[in-house]
């Protein structure tokens, strides 16, 4: 049974990517970096061509979760809820998995839940189909096995693909089941996640951006 940590909130299930007026104002006047190549494309379409890509990489100070050797949670999900997310979350317990759903839980408290979990599930909220690297890079940095929604039209850097179990929306449930039932595969994915991030030192990324400024 899914253990809900907060009441289900109502949100629109679709979203058209747009740039807030205040962000647009600043981007027209100052140098700007953005983590998403898809976002940068939207700036370019508005005639703002100086926005630079800032990939998120490995920062040793963020590696601070000690994963349990005997995790008691199969699948952890945290974040806002809408129909498409709830649809997947409601199917997982029917497959015999223990699922925990957190909302408004952050910092050390959330790290404790992550440490107890075999898999952390990442799903798109909006229809914009941008890989949630801001959410996932912290998990990968800590060697967490992440099952992430990646559809054919999802915008994601190739460098991150080995660090997650990239899965189309329709296959998320079965992928979670398979990974939870295969401890050796879980461990291999945990190592792959960490190695993926370690191959992208944030300091090097910043140096390259500053040199190009």
Adjacent-strand bridge partners of 75: 99, 119
pTM of the model: 0.86
C-alpha span between 202 and 59 (Å, rounded) = 6
Q: What's the CATH number for 1-213?
A: 3.40.50.2000
Residue recorded with tokens 């007026």:
21
C-alpha span between 9 and 156 (Å, rounded) = 28
CA count, 13 A, side-chain hemisphere, 66? 0
Whole-number CA gyration radius for the chain:
18
Q: What is the pLDDT of residue 49?
A: 87
C-alpha span between 90 and 94 (Å, rounded) = 7
Phi, psi of 93 (to 5 degrees): -65, -30
Query: Looking at residue 119, what DSSP letter applies?
Result: E
Q: Express each pLDDT in 104-158 by its tens digit.
A: 999 999 999 999 999 999 999 987 788 999 999 999 999 999 999 999 999 999 9
Q: What is the pLDDT of residue 82?
A: 96
């Amino acid at each position: 049974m899914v253990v809900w940590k907060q009441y289900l909130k109502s949100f629109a299930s679709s979203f058209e990517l747009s740039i807030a007026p205040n962000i647009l104002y600043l981007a027209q006047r100052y140098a700007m970096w953005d983590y998403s190549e898809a976002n940068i494309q939207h700036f370019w379409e508005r005639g703002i061509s100086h926005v630079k890509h800032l990939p998120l990489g490995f920062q040793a100070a963020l590696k601070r979760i000690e994963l349990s050797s005997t995790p008691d949670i199969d699948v952890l999900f945290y974040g806002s809820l809408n129909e498409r997310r709830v649809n997947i979350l409601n199917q997982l317990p029917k497959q015999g998995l223990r699922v925990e759903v957190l909302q408004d839980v952050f910092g050390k408290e959330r790290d404790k839940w992550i440490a107890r979990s075999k898999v952390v599930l990442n799903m798109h909220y909006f229809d914009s189909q941008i890989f949630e690297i801001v959410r996932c890079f912290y998990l990968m940095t800590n060697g967490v096995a992440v099952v992430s929604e990646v559809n054919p039209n999802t915008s994601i850097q190739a460098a991150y693909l080995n660090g997650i179990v990239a899965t189309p929306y329709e296959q998320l449930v079965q992928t979670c089941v398979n990974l939870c039932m295969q401890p050796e595969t879980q461990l291999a994915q945990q190592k792959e996640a960490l190695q993926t991030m370690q191959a992208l030192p944030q300091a090097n990324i910043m140096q390259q951006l500053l040199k190009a400024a």
